[in-house]
Chain A
Amino acid sequence: MKQIVFELFANLERLAGSGTCSVQAHDEVGTVAEALALLARERPELAASLDRCACVAGDTIVRRADPVPADGRIALLPPVAGG
């Protein structure tokens, strides 16, 4: 088992009621997509919003097919509206 920590922003943070949430993942959870699927099962209130989120490790966007970042942290960025 490994812990995956999701950092939440904007409406996602509001839906979850906190700025981060964690899931315990079996070793077969290898990709960002698999981690998101696990999150959607454990936190159904977030599930509908995940599809339009970009995933970020550090300051770099990672893709669904990429491996879960080594530090187990994934930032979930919902659609943006600056300016």
Chain B
Amino acid sequence: MEHAVLSHDTVTVEPLLELNAHPECGGLALFVGTVRDHHEGRSVRHLTYTAHEPLAAKIIREVEAATREKYGVPYVRIMHRLGDLSIGDIAIVCVVRAPHRAEAFDACRYAVDAVKHGAPIWKEEFYNDGSSAFVEGCCIRDDMDDATARPHRHHSHTSHG
């Protein structure tokens, strides 16, 4: 069975690290995205992630494979949380094992960006004033022609710093 890349339960980092494997690797880069208490000047109380799960899982696994290939690293592991999250909860984890630190950092950043921009996952933020909104994201149509294409706003780039 393929490894999980989406979780409806609390994500724990430790099992994803594989510190006892990959003896050829001298580096591990880790990114953990957590839920922040503000977005564009508004106070966030909590949020909900939803997904088109079959395609999201497929795309995240493709990102893992593409990152291994692009950076020549043996291990890339991504886990994205779904469901209701509180401030401070883990939203996404990305682990890269690599022989050296440079490709570990680069591969980790690449993989997280690729998931944010490509996996069909949506974030609905619930604000302190009782309102809520879906965070504006990236269009993943691959057949936009020039007549209909519009620049999309990359708010989510800074979601976790």
Contacts and interface: CB of A to CB of B under 8 A. Distances in A.
A59 B53 CA distance: 9
Contact of A81 (B123, B142, B143): B123
Question: In the complex, which range does the number of interface residues on chain B fall in?
Answer: 35 or more
B20 to A, nearest CB: 28
Contact of B134 (A10, A52, A55, A75): A10
A58 interface: yes
B1 interface: no
Given A59-B58, A61-B140, A65-B143, A51 B121 contact: no
B152 to A, nearest CB: 6
A1 interface: no
The main secondary structure of chain A at its interface with chain B is loop
Nearest to B31: A83
A63 B123 CA distance: 25
Nearest to A65: B143
B142 A80 contact: no
Contact of B138 (A53, A56, A63, A80): A80
Interface stretch (B22-30, B65-73, B95-103, B153-161): B153-161
Given A10-B50, A81-B123, A82-B119, 9 more contacts: A51-B148, A53-B139, A75-B55, A80-B117, A80-B120, A81-B155, A81-B159, A82-B51, A83-B115
Interface of A: 9-11, 14, 51-56, 58-61, 63-65, 75, 77-83
